[in-house]
Amino acid sequence: MKLPTLREVGVEARLLLIGIPVFLWTMIPIYHMFLFAISPKEDAFSGKLWPNHPTLNNFRIVFHQEHYFLRDFWIQFWNSIVIAVAAGALTLMIATAAAFAISRLKVPGSRWVMNLALFTYFIPAAFLAVPMYRTMGNYGLLNNHWSLILAMVTIASPYAIWVLKQASDKLPVELDEAAVMDGATIPQLFRLVYVPLMMPSLVAIGTYAILLAWNEYLYAFLLLSKDTEITLPVALGNFLAADDSPWELLMTTGFIYALPPAAIYYAFKRYMVGGLTAGAVKS
């Protein structure tokens, strides 16, 4: 075995000098949350790096809804799931159809539609939220899950269309021509040629829209207000209203809430990184 030279050790040390702060910076807020989740109330505030008596009791309290703030935990969890899945599915349908029309069928005016979608993509979310709130009120959708689902579809679909268009522009035109030669109709072309070939991008976009809707706080907090209608992030925000908030339970709920998106992200990572960063920023 070859001993590392002084120069190599120097390079490694410098890399560690960057790596260690990056690790601490990234992990401290997450570890702090985890620590609260496994600490009994007395230990939580002691400032220790590991509790004297780690416990899963907090999780038990949350799952059994044994606290005033948590009495609707399961229904809020369910609301989050329904809204994320519905927004993901709708975005996927609308965006795939639009990208197919723009990129494969070359509909007249599709460049315009693309530009409109891009424009929407660039409107800062909080700016659109103000008139969106009133619009939903005018439509009579406030406090209805549909308001949040449709708002999420509105926000997610421009980017979805754009990424899908970029990806489908790369499919060779000859494929479509060959299928049409063989007598394929447009719906067949869509179902049998386009969708199977686009699968990786579709997975990426579906995941993107689901995560976006699951993570959304601002719109959820504006559009939904009844305790049994709100999603988990809004419920977490409501903890803050009280001075005597049970932090360890808040952090436990937050930890449970953060797990599904993290799991989904890592499960679909290879689709996400390839599918999303390729389209995310074109230099």
Partner 1 sequence: MAITLSASEMPGPPLSARLTTPQIWGIALLTPYLLVFLAFVVYPVCYGLWLARHPASYVALYHDPIFARAALNTLIFLVIGINFKMMVALFLSGFFVQSRSWIKWLSVLFILPWAVPSIPTILSVRFMFNPEWGVVNTLIFKLTGEDGPNWLNDPAVALTMAIGVHIWKSLPFWTLILMTGRLAISNDLFEAADVDGASWWQKFRFITWPSMQALYLTCTLLSMIWTLGDFNSVYLLTGGGPADLTHVLATLGIRYLRLDQLSLAMASIVCALPFVLPLIYFMMKRLSR
Q: How many other C-beta atoms are found inside a 10 Å radius of the C-beta of residue 70?
A: 21
**Which residue in the block uniquely carries the two structure tokens 């807020």?**
29
Residue 19 beta carbon to partner 1: minimum distance, rounded to whole angstroms: 6
Our CA angle for 189, 154, 135, nearest 5°, is: 140
Amino acid at 218: L
Chain length of the chain = 283
Distance, in Å, from the CA atom of 250 to the CA atom of 102, rounded to the nearest integer, reads 46
> Are 272 and 208 a contacting pair, CB within 8 Å?
yes
Distance, in Å, from the CA atom of 63 to the CA atom of 65, rounded to the nearest integer, reads 5
Distance, in Å, from the CA atom of 240 to the CA atom of 80, rounded to the nearest integer, reads 19
Residue 199 beta carbon to partner 1: minimum distance, rounded to whole angstroms: 19
Amino acid at 200: P
Q: What is each CA distance from 123 to 49, 101, 116, 127, 199, in whole angstroms?
A: 42, 24, 11, 7, 29
| Nearest residue to 99 (alpha-carbon basis) of 83, 118, 71, 76 | 118
Residue closer to partner 1 by CB (options 229, 268) is 268
Residue 30 beta carbon to partner 1: minimum distance, rounded to whole angstroms: 6
Distance, in Å, from the CA atom of 283 to the CA atom of 279, rounded to the nearest integer, reads 10
Q: What is each CA distance from 69 to 57, 228, 230, 245, 253, in whole angstroms?
A: 16, 12, 13, 9, 10
